[in-house]
């Protein structure tokens, strides 16, 4: 890491990685908070020490963001990158019905990410940590030749034996989603288009801010996962990172059942619908295949459907029943407005597409 910052003459002169780590992290979380989160030893030694709880199981997940794959400097601000790297991990803990507790942060930074930019990334990361009550307990730092890589490992807890898996969907149950999908993909489309156009002309087209915000600052709902676990009514659960269709397929395959999604029941954001219309893009493609929505898709027994909706409503959270589980070959089908059924392809975001 040393050398990058020196050569560029950036704001942070001649610091080794230990000084940088201190610069990014020191004073961000109070001793009081870290104590209350059970952190015996946080950043600074060979490993963190965290006190355990015998009535809980641990949840571990890791997700990585790579510059030019998950973000570009014209789609996301530095703080957005930090926020989203942690939020994507929170989403996986929420998708098990758990509580996010601690996180480790691995950074590989190229020369273009100077001290100021890295500080802003950490501003966003700690903003997300504060929002969800997560203690940052360590990580790793290296240089990188060109693109920034941020990898966050999250640790959560869940009551013993209660984590909600993808394999619990049963024929006859209802399929739900905890929010509208497609907004993030539309926001990204707008941001990329704006960049292309700005090369030719200075005319900027307004992208609804809600779409941009959905892309930059996803808001996974830990509370939604907790309600599904606490009531015992969530029979399967998955978070939507690659796209609604793809995540529904994961539940279908894990549960060995068919998921029927009703087109008319899918929640449509007004902002999204009007933007898709204006852009001449098929709304449904964004909703089914866009990805990075970080809402939850899952299943609930029909007898609990109304009560579950009521619980969500009481806490000011959305919940939409979007289809049913049927017995049969694992697959996902869409029932159109006219009542005809068509199979939904497994497609979603794929890091290694064929061809
Ligand atoms: N390189 C890897 N080595 C081992 N397990 C992995 C690797 N990549 C992904 N996994 C595991 O495969 C499963 C699916 O991963 P992924 O599709 O990234 O899940 P998600 O969409 O929830 O982030 C997870 O259990 C994850 O831990
Ligand atoms: C510049 C840019 N191009 C494309 C995308 C779209 N995109 C990148 S990764 C991804 C899917 C989610 O990421 P992934 O690493 O697959 O997360 P995981 O499934 O492991 O949670 C999407 C929709 C983006 N966010 N930014
Ligand atoms: Mg992943
Ligand atoms: Mg997931
Ligand atoms: Mg993925």
List pLDDT tens digits, range 170-200.
999 999 999 999 999 999 999 999 877 665 5
State what percent of residues in the chain have pLDDT above 90: 86
Q: How far is the CA of 196 from the centre of ligand 2 (A)?
A: 20
Angle at CA of residue 228, ends 225 and 231, nearest 5°: 140
Q: How many CB atoms lie within 10 A of CB 122?
A: 21
Looking at residue 199, what is its pLDDT?
A: 58
The pLDDT-based confidence of 54 (bands split at 50, 70, 90) is: confident
Ramachandran area for residue 144 (φ above 0: left; ψ -120 to 50: alpha; else beta):
beta
DSSP-H helix ranges across the chain: 4-8, 17-25, 31-36, 78-94, 115-132, 183-200, 209-216, 222-231, 244-255, 270-279, 283-289, 305-314
What ranges do the domains of the chain cover?
4-159, 174-343
The pLDDT-based confidence of 16 (bands split at 50, 70, 90) is: confident
Q: Which of 149, 292, 293 should be mutated for ligand 2, with most atoms under 8 A from CB?
A: 292
Q: How far is the CA of 239 from the centre of ligand 3 (A)?
A: 10
User: In sequence order, what DSSP letters do the residues of 71-112 get, joined into one string?
Assistant: B-TTT--HHHHHHHHHHHHHHHHHTTT-EEEEEEEEEEE-TT
Q: What is the pLDDT of residues 287-303, one digit of tens each?
A: 999 999 999 999 999 99
- 92 assigned to a ligand binding site: yes
DSSP-H helix ranges across 315-353: none
In whole angstroms, how far apart are CA 87 and each of 65, 92, 219? 11, 9, 7
- 73 assigned to a ligand binding site: no
| Mean local confidence (pLDDT), 321-348 | 95
- 241 assigned to a ligand binding site: yes
The pLDDT-based confidence of 355 (bands split at 50, 70, 90) is: low
* Residue nearest to ligand 2 atom 16, measured at CA: 242
Looking at residue 200, what is its pLDDT?
A: 53
Ligand at minimal distance from the CA of 291 is: 2
CA 75 to chain centre: 16
* Residue nearest to ligand 1 atom 24, measured at CA: 61
Give 280's contacts (C-beta < 8 A, 6+ positions apart).
Answer: none
Can you name the residues that pair with 238 across neighbouring β-strands? 297
pLDDT of 8 > 80? The answer is no
Cα separation, 23 vs 140, whole angstroms: 14
Angle at CA of residue 132, ends 68 and 112, nearest 5°: 25
- 6 assigned to a ligand binding site: no
Contact call for residues 168 and 299 (beta carbons, < 8 A): yes
Q: How far is the CA of 95 from the centre of ligand 4 (A)?
A: 7
As a whole number of Å, the CA-based R_g of the chain is 21
Q: How far is the CA of 138 from the centre of ligand 3 (A)?
A: 20
* Residue nearest to ligand 2 atom 20, measured at CA: 63
- Output 196 or 166, whichever has higher pLDDT: 166
Report the CATH fold assignment for 174-343.
Phosphoribosyl-aminoimidazole Synthetase; Chain A, domain 2 (3.90.650)
Spatial CA neighbour of 318 closest among 244, 260, 268: 268
pTM: 0.94
At residue 334, what are phi and psi to the nearest 5 degrees? Answer: -110, 125
Write out the two tokens for 122.
Answer: 């950490």
| Mean local confidence (pLDDT), 230-238 | 98
Q: Which residues line ligand 1 (CB under 6 A)?
A: 63, 92, 241
Q: Which CATH number fits domain 4-159: 3.40.50.170, 3.30.1330.10, 2.60.120.200, 1.20.1630.10?
A: 3.30.1330.10
Spatial CA neighbour of 222 closest among 349, 117, 333, 87: 87
pLDDT of 14 > 60? The answer is no
- 151 assigned to a ligand binding site: no
Looking at residue 198, what is its pLDDT?
A: 62
pLDDT of 336 > 50? The answer is yes
Angle at CA of residue 270, ends 234 and 226, nearest 5°: 20
* Residue nearest to ligand 1 atom 13, measured at CA: 61
- 166 assigned to a ligand binding site: yes
ipTM score: 0.95
Looking at residue 4, what is its pLDDT?
A: 43
Q: What is the pLDDT of residues 91-122, one digit of tens each?
A: 999 999 999 999 999 999 999 999 999 999 99
pLDDT of 354 > 90? The answer is no
Cα separation, 332 vs 238, whole angstroms: 15
Q: How far is the CA of 108 from the centre of ligand 3 (A)?
A: 18
pLDDT of 232 > 60? The answer is yes
Ligand at minimal distance from the CA of 70 is: 2
* Residue nearest to ligand 1 atom 26, measured at CA: 61
Q: How far is the CA of 224 from the centre of ligand 3 (A)?
A: 20
The pLDDT-based confidence of 314 (bands split at 50, 70, 90) is: very high
The pLDDT-based confidence of 5 (bands split at 50, 70, 90) is: very low
Q: What is the largest CA-CA distance in the chain?
A: 66
């Amino acid at each position: 890491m040393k050398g990058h910052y020196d050569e560029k003459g950036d704001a942070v002169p001649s610091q080794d990685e230990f000084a940088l780590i201190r610069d990014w992290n020191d004073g961000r979380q109070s001793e009081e908070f870290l104590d209350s989160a059970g952190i015996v030893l946080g950043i600074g030694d060979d490993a963190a020490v965290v006190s355990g709880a015998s009535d809980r199981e641990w949840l571990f997940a890791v997700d990585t963001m790579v510059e030019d794959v998950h973000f570009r400097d014209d789609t996301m601000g530095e703080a957005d990158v930090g926020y989203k790297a942690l939020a994507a991990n929170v989403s996986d803990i929420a998708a098990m019905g758990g509580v996010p507790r601690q996180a480790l942060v691995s950074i590989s930074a190229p020369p273009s990410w100077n001290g100021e930019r890295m500080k802003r990334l950490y501003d966003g990361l700690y903003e997300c940590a504060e929002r969800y009550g997560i203690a940052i307990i360590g990580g790793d730092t290296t240089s990188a030749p060109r693109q920034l890589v941020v990898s966050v490992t999250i640790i959560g807890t869940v009551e013993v034996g209660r984590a909600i898996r993808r394999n619990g969907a049963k024929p006859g149950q209802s399929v739900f989603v905890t929010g509208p999908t497609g907004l993030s993909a539309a926001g990204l489309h707008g941001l990329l288009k704006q960049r292309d156009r700005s090369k030719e002309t200075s005319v900027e087209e307004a992208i609804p801010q809600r779409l941009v915000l959905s892309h930059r600052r996803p808001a996974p709902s830990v509370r939604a996962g907790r309600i599904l676990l606490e009531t015992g009514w969530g029979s399967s659960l998955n978070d939507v990172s690659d796209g609604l269709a793809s995540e529904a397929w994961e539940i279908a395959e894990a549960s060995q059942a068919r998921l029927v999604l009703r087109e008319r029941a899918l929640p449509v954001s007004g902002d999204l619908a009007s933007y898709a219309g204006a852009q001449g893009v098929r709304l449904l493609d964004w909703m089914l295949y866009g990805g990075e929505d970080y809402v939850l898709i899952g299943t609930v027994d029909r007898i609990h459907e109304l009560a579950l909706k009521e619980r969500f409503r009481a806490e000011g959270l959305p919940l939409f029943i979007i289809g049913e589980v049927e017995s049969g070959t694992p697959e996902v089908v869409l029932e159109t407005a006219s009542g005809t059924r068509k199979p939904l392809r497994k497609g979603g975001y794929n890091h290694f597409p064929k061809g």
